Every structure is written in C-alpha cells, then in structure tokens.
C-alpha cells in the first residue's frame, strides 16, 4: 500500500498555568506565555528506532534540548543526546518530560524554563493538545486490523482489513476542561469506557480518555475507570477493560485516504461486482456496496493509484491498465497501476502510463483507449467522495470555524466539524446549526437554508481545493476566507480534510 502521508505527531504543550510552550522566531527562544495554540505553539514528535527516547521539534526545525547547566532550551540543531527526552505519562494524562541524558525534568513558566530537578512538581507537568487533523483511521497493533462503526451502528469493532467506507473514519476530539480526548465514530457518537456509543449531547466522563504514547503508537486510558481501551472477542469490540497495556491495547493513527464512487458516461457506477475487470455496470440509484468504492492513493506529484476492496483480507487490489480492460488484480505498485488524475469540474479522468485515458467501452468495461479526456471519448467520470460525511478543514493558517455572525474564519487552532453533502459530483457544506456555506462579498458564511454546491479537486497529503464560479476558496493570515483564489494548487487554496 502507498505510504501514509502527512501524519506527523503534532501537538501543543500547555503548562500547569495554562500557557503554551512557544518557539519564538528570534533566536529560537522558548517561553510559556501564549493562551492559544497557533503555529509557534505547535511541536512535532520524532521517535528513535529501538529506543524509548523521543525528540521534540519546533516549527523552526529546532529541537527542545537540555544542557549540562540545567537550561531548558529550544535551539537544538538535531536529534542528539541532549535533545532526547523520556515521556512519563501521569495518571491524569499529563506528561513529564525527562532528559534522557541527565534525568532532569523540564518545565517552568514564562521565561523561567529549566531542567535541573529530579522530582516531578506541578510546574513540570504538561497537558498535551494534539494539533494534527482530527480525522483518522485507527489500527490495532496486535490484530493488524482497523476500528470502524459496526453495521448495526451500535459499537466500534476492530475487524476491517482495510478501513473501507465512511464507517472507518474516526475523529479525535479534545475536551478543554480536563485535557482529555474522545473517540468519535462516523455518526458523531462518542465511545464510552463501557463500549457503548453515546450521542454527542449525552457525552460525559465515561467518554474521556487520556492518551499514552509508546513511540509512534498510543493507548487510551479511561479517565473514569483507569482502564485501557482494548479490542475484545472475534469482532474486536472496543471497550476499556484492561488494567495494563499489551499489544491489544496499542493503536496507531493513520491517514485516511479519499474514497470515491465513479459514474461513467452510460450513467452507471464503476464496480468490480462482475469480477476482476472494472466495469460501469451498477445503476446509479442502486445502493453503493464496497465493490463500488475506490480508494485514491497518492504516489507523489499528480501520480496516484486506485485501490479496490477485492480480496480485502490481503489488503485489496489495485487497478491495472494494460492492453486489455482495466483490471482490479494488482498486488504491488507498478507502472501499469500508476496514473495521472485530472479534474474537470465535477468529473475526473485517469491518464495511464501509455498516454491513453481510461474510457468506457460499449460493453461497459473500462479500457485505456481514449486520446483525450472528454465526454465524447467517454473518458470523464463523475466522482463523489464518500468517506467524509463529517468534514474538518485546515488551511495554511489553521482550521476553518464559524463565527457567531455566521462568517467563516480560517485561522483557528481547534477543528470545527461540518457535514458534507454530495450531488452529481458537487458538494455542499453545512454547520452544526444546519446552515449551508454560501459565497458572499464579505467572505464565505454558514448562513443559508438551502445548499450551494461547489467543485472539489483532490491533492497529495489529504488536501483538497474548493471552487465556485471558477474561483477557489482561499485563506488569509488575518483569518479572512474568501472565494478569490486563482489556482487550486496554491498553498492558500489547499485545505487538509
């Protein structure tokens, strides 16, 4: 499978006084003074193979470090001995950062940051606030399978070989009051320590978990019971029942690739229902099964590969465009499975290695035979992204949020979850108050009772561009969010989803 992209561990570190550790641009100085988490307050975790030590890197690509005089600094040039820390998770979920070399704990307040004590005091404890995108897939280390909302939509189970469909996309919510986290299913419900799913309006302490880090994997510890979430039984039911950590209580966050349905020129959905060949043979009104869902996996630049759910127990199969029909039997990446993906409004085209575009044949089968991307050549497919019914968007300057006025701003440190609706390859977005996004002169607002539909284009690292009337939605450092961008591939117009 293609390498999962853009999932560095990123977080803010908040001290006991409620101030975030900040890396100042001048001299790489660190202070604890900020009340909000923005770019200067975001840190990145690096691990060392075969070691419990971690390295913490700033937005300036400098490292937290401790010197022999007990100074706690932010100017480390690289991951060396004095930059190595041991994370000691406390019962309340906070971290103590201990210098591996000296055994001293790092902490303090304001400009008075030190690391010369071997005792853990209150000012040595840090609340960890994740800064990464909240939409993830969750893989159990022992079972090597993914957590998803079960078919009855009553629990989270760990029994998918590939995280397929919207039910496998989870979100991680931060609870400001106690610095804990919640695990939300695809329908917005929270996982409870009992294994039950709780509606958002009924969320309580049983839904609060501390995160414990073990290299690049994590465990979830219930704030209410002190037990760890594990995967139980044949289905891998998620429930907090274990008093200690084994491989069954360790999970890994992974990026969630876009999954789409594709409707061909004949009005039918592409599918592998009839066998190994990809064919437009399922009526558009028929319920979408896993065989009509295709995963777009980035390979760099404009290159992608397309994965199907066929032989899911072996990790699925890739589209392969050879001399004959496009088949879903590729096991490994190859030239024949690598394609350029091009966007044309609400439609998508696939250019294969032989320079030809995938095209629908008279019998419905798909073949690399078209000389151009056009409706006449039957080489354009209406695409709809199906695994983002809940959507959070993060641009160059932060997350998009709705102000009290309904106007949208794009420089917030916390994600707001929106609902995504699709129709004929177009999307409409609405907030928790069921108000749809609408483009206006002052910016984009969540203020309409009726949907306004937009085009989207997909890019590497789980980023999309959104356009309306030929203009792209663009972010500004001051928080303005307007439809005034000219290129979907510019940093201001790309939003991680």
For the segment 207-239, what is each residue's pLDDT rounded down to a tens digit? 999 998 887 789 999 999 999 999 999 999 999
What are residue 439's DSSP bridge partners? 444
Q: What is the mean pLDDT of residues 172-180?
A: 90
- Write down the pLDDT at residue 109: 94
Query: Which residue, among 248, 470, 485, 258, has the nearest Cα to 383 in the 3D structure?
Result: 258
- Write down the pLDDT at residue 431: 96
Q: Please give the helix or strand (H or E) that residue 270 lies within, else none.
A: strand 268-271
- Write down the pLDDT at residue 7: 58
Answer yes or no: are the C-beta atoms of 279 and 246 closer than 8 Å.
no
Q: Please give the helix or strand (H or E) that residue 13 lies within, else none.
A: strand 9-14
At residue 91, the 3 state secondary structure works out as coil
Model pTM above 0.85: yes
What is the fold, at CATH topology level, of the domain defined by 259-385?
A: Trefoil (Acidic Fibroblast Growth Factor, subunit A) (2.80.10)
Q: What gap in Å lies between CA 88 and CA 58, rounded to an integer?
A: 20
Tell me how crowded residue 482 is: count the other CB atoms within 10 A of its CB.
19
**Architecture in CATH of 390-496:** Trefoil (2.80)
Structure tokens belonging to residue 291: 């065989």
Domain covering 9-130 in this structure, CATH number: 2.80.10.50
Could you please report the per-residue DSSP string of 161-204? SS--SGGG-EEEEEETTTTEEEEE-TTSPEEPTTS-EE-GGG--
- Write down the pLDDT at residue 51: 81
- Write down the pLDDT at residue 414: 86
- Write down the pLDDT at residue 93: 83
- Write down the pLDDT at residue 350: 98
**pLDDT tens, 302-320?**
899 999 998 877 778 999 9
Q: What gap in Å lies between CA 39 and CA 58, rounded to an integer?
A: 9
- 329 by Cβ neighbours in 10 Å (0-12 / 13-18 / 19+) ranks as middle
- Write down the pLDDT at residue 52: 84
Q: Is the pLDDT confidence value at 3 over 50?
A: no
Report the chain's mean pLDDT, rounded to a whole number: 93
Q: CATH 2.80.10.50 spans which residues of the chain?
A: 9-130, 135-254, 259-385, 390-496
Query: Which residue, among 60, 45, 190, has the nearest Cα to 126 in the 3D structure?
Result: 45
Q: Does domain 135-254 have CATH number 2.80.10.50?
A: yes
Q: What is the mean pLDDT of residues 392-407?
A: 94
């Amino acid at each position: 499978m293609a390498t999962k992209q853009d999932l560095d561990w990123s977080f803010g570190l908040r001290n006991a006084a409620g101030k975030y550790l900040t890396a100042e641009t001048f001299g790489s100085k660190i202070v604890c003074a900020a009340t909000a988490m923005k770019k200067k307050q975001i840190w990145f975790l690096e691990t060392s193979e075969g070691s419990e030590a971690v390295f913490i890197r700033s937005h300036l690509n400098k490292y937290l470090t401790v010197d022999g005089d007990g100074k706690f600094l932010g100017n480390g040039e690289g991951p060396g001995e004095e930059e190595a820390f041991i994370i000691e998770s406390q019962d309340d979920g906070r971290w103590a950062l201990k210098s591996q070399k000296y055994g001293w704990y790092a902490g303090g307040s304001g400009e008075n940051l030190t690391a010369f004590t071997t005792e853990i005091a209150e000012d040595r404890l840090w609340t960890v606030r994740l800064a990464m995108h909240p939409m993830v897939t969750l893989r159990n280390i022992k079972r090597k399978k993914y957590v998803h909302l079960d078919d009855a939509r009553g629990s989270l189970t760990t029994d998918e070989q590939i995280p397929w469909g919207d039910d496998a996309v989870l979100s991680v919510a931060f609870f400001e009051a106690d610095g804990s986290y919640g695990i939300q299913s695809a329908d917005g419900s929270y996982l409870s320590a009992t294994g039950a799913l709780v509606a958002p309006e009924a969320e309580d302490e049983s839904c609060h978990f501390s995160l414990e880090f073990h290299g690049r994997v994590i465990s979830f510890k219930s704030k209410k019971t002190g037990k760890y979430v594990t995967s139980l039984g044949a289905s891998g039911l998620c429930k907090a029942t274990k008093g200690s950590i084994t491989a069954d209580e360790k999970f890994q966050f992974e990026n969630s690739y876009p999954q789409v349905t594709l409707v061909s020129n004949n009005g039918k959905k592409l599918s592998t229902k009839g066998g190994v060949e990809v064919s437009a043979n399922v009526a558009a009104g028929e319920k979408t099964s896993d065989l009509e869902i295709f995963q777009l996996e980035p390979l760099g630049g404009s290159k992608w590969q397309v994965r199907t759910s066929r032989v899911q127990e072996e990790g699925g199969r890739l589209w392969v465009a050879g001399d004959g029909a496009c088949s879903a039997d590729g096991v490994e990446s190859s030239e024949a499975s690598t394609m350029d993906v091009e966007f044309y409004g609400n439609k998508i085209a696939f250019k294969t290695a032989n320079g030809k575009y995938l095209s629908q044949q008279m019998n419905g089968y798909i073949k690399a035979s078209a000389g151009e991307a056009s409706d006449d050549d039957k080489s354009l497919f209406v695409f709809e992204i199906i695994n983002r019914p809940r959507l959070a968007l993060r641009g160059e300057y932060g997350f998009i949020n709705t102000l009290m006025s309904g106007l949208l701003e794009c420089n917030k440190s916390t994600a707001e979850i929106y609902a995504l609706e699709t129709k004929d390859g177009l999307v409409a977005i609405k907030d928790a108050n069921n108000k749809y996004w609408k483009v206006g002169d002052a910016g984009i607002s969540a203020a309409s009772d009726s949907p306004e539909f937009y085009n989207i284009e997909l890019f590497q690292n789980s980023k999309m561009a959104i356009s309306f009337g030929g203009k792209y939605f663009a972010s500004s450092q001051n928080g303005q969010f307007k439809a005034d961008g000219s290129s979907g591939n510019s940093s201001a117009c790309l939003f991680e989803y």
